[in-house]
Structure 1
Amino acid sequence: MQTASKYMFKPRSDHKLSDLPTLDAALLKHQSKNKKDLVKVASEIGALQWTMYAEKKQSLLVVFQALDAAGKDGVIRHVLQGVSPQGVSTVSFKQPSASEMARDFLWRVHLRTPARGEFTIFNRSHYEDVLVARVHELVPKSVWKKRYDIINQFEQLLADECQTRVIKFYLHMSPDVQLARFKDRLTDESKNWKITASDYQEREYWSQYIEAFQETLERTSTPQAPWFVVPADDKDSRNLLVAEIIRDTLKDMHPSYPEPAADLKDVRARFHAASAEAKAIRKPKA
């Protein structure tokens, strides 16, 4: 998993988000072939996902977190281009409802985690409760500080009880690129629906969000549920990197097709008998 190791966030290291690149210069050199490579990798993801679905022994949960316009929707759309709709789901977590707010912060999330054989993508997730909740002081510090350990225990539970592999992506984007994408949403009618006044208001909290992401990655990037920091200023290289890490993760899970439940000798005999009968029916009369 060479690609994965390069972008994996390593706690207790000198990894500072403010210092990490938002563009991958090496990938930009091969920009013309990134889209072609993505099609191939997406197809490989599809084959591995289908095998895992048939196997029904383990599952994969992929989490995306980022600031607005970093490309969560775009990445998900491209990564899923080769998968079967069976056994795959995408969940987008919005502002909690009154019913959800009346329960613990993981309640609504646990309901949407993948069953064995499933591949689930979270577009935003339980991490909103240590990001937005922290930046906007929706809960006291004494509350959100405890949530890091609770999240780690939750993700360990998924691994232990359901053999769920969890991988998490932070799409790392520069402020200038975000502003350019906001402009694109204003000028492209097909993207007008994506822009809101709150997008610009949230930009005022950029440094607070980076600080919140920094601590989140440091506290919750674990062996059973690592974080990957993906340079997100260039869309094509961003999509390819995410796809490669997902593909490599599925390969590392070694899914395999289950043994057939039917007696193949008996089924083959029935097939040959049915074929002979069909041939006799088709044979023209003398």
Structure 2
Amino acid sequence: MANVQLSKISTRAPKKFDKEKTKAATAATIEKLNDLQNLLFAESKHAVLIVIQGMDASGKDGVVRNVFGHFNPQGVMVQSFKAPTALELSHDFLWRIHQHAPQKGMMQIFNRSHYEDILITRVHGMIDDTTANKRIKAINDFEDLLVKHNNTHILKFYLHISPEEQKLRLEERLNDTTKQWKYNENDFAEAKLWKKYMQAYEDCFNQCNAVPWMIVPADQNWYKEHLIANALYTLLSGLDMRFPGLKKS
């Protein structure tokens, strides 16, 4: 994936997709994924890392709940990466990330990830381009290490929401009592930095693409969840996994 221009990529489902039919298809796929995740856990030869990135209100939590929330919790871990603590800042930027890399048999979900260290840090001028490029190389090496030395399969999703839809969702957090707990007073200030974030993301896609990114239209949650469930099904169903049978004494 090279020379990505997010402004030229739709944030909505193609018109041929029917909402109710698509939701039914997604539910059927998730049922199959439940069996495949159990097989992944039982065989314990593969690890899966799911990276979910996106602007505020793009629906990261919803994906975790609606796609991955149906699986056996013994085999699925979720880690969110917020502002680093003082201890984390005293180490290299990947120190806090590597601790959560999945072991074989496990599916690890990063709700935000190591990419925050070349996104928000660049947008807010916390690091310069030289440091950013060093971090980009470190991220590529980190993902290469996981893939080649721990049989880790990585899926990276960018939830591609439009600024108009983001505005509606942020306003909803102010008015819906069931969503007010998600409200952060900085969300609207961050939204004003939209162009800078898009530039940072596009650079990220263009330079960190040995493990390819999937840009997921995210204005409609049902379509977003459909694409992510299908991508995971394609990965897991292609691993030729087998139950290990009786353990040898």
TM-score (normalizing by structure 2): 0.96
Structure 1 position 51 matched with structure 2 position 39:
yes
1:61 paired residue number: 49
Return the offset for 1:26. Answer: 3.8
- Select which of 225, 236, 244 maps to 1:250: 236
Superposition map of 1:159-198 within 5 A? 159-198=147-186
State percent identity of aligned pairs.
37
Helix, strand or coil at the partner of 2:8? coil
2:187 paired residue number: 199
Helix, strand or coil at the partner of 1:196? coil
Aligned equivalents of 2:59, 2:235: Cα separation in 1: 21
Unaligned runs of 5+ in 1: 1-9, 264-286
Aligned equivalents of 2:69, 2:91: Cα separation in 1: 35
Aligned equivalents of 1:254, 1:17: Cα separation in 2: 35
Q: Which amino acid is 1:16 matched to?
A: Q
Aligned equivalents of 2:63, 2:166: Cα separation in 1: 16
Contact 1:88 1:119 in 2 (8 A): yes
Helix, strand or coil at the partner of 2:10? coil
Helix, strand or coil at the partner of 1:121? strand
Judging changes above 3 Å, is the alpha-carbon distance between structure 1 residues 178 and 114 closer, same or farther for their aligned structure 2 residues?
A: same
Aligned equivalents of 1:108, 1:165: Cα separation in 2: 20
Return the offset for 1:36. Answer: 1.6
Q: Deviations over 1:108-157 (max 9, x none)?
A: 00000100000000000000011001100112221112111111110010
Contact 1:21 1:231 in 2 (8 A): yes
Contact 1:43 1:83 in 2 (8 A): no
- Counting helix residues as a fraction of each chain, which structure ranks higher? 1
CA RMSD of aligned residues (A): 1.3
Aligned equivalents of 1:21, 1:116: Cα separation in 2: 36
Q: Which amino acid is 1:238 matched to?
A: K
Unaligned runs of 5+ in 2: none
- Bigger mean CA deviation after superposition, 175-184 or 18-27: 18-27
Larger radius of gyration: 1
Q: Deviations over 1:162-188 (max 9, x none)?
A: 100011000001000001101211111
- Select which of 213, 216, 231 maps to 1:230: 216
1:18 paired residue number: 7
Aligned equivalents of 2:69, 2:163: Cα separation in 1: 29
Return the offset for 1:262. Answer: 4.8
Superposition map of 1:261-280 within 5 A? 261-262=247-248
1:78 paired residue number: 66
TM-score (normalizing by structure 1): 0.84
| Structure 1 ranges of 4+ moved more than 6 A | none
Helix, strand or coil at the partner of 1:61? strand
Helix, strand or coil at the partner of 1:127? helix
**Equivalenced residues, count:** 249
Q: Deviations over 1:205-251 (max 9, x none)?
A: 100000000010111111xx221000000111111111111111111
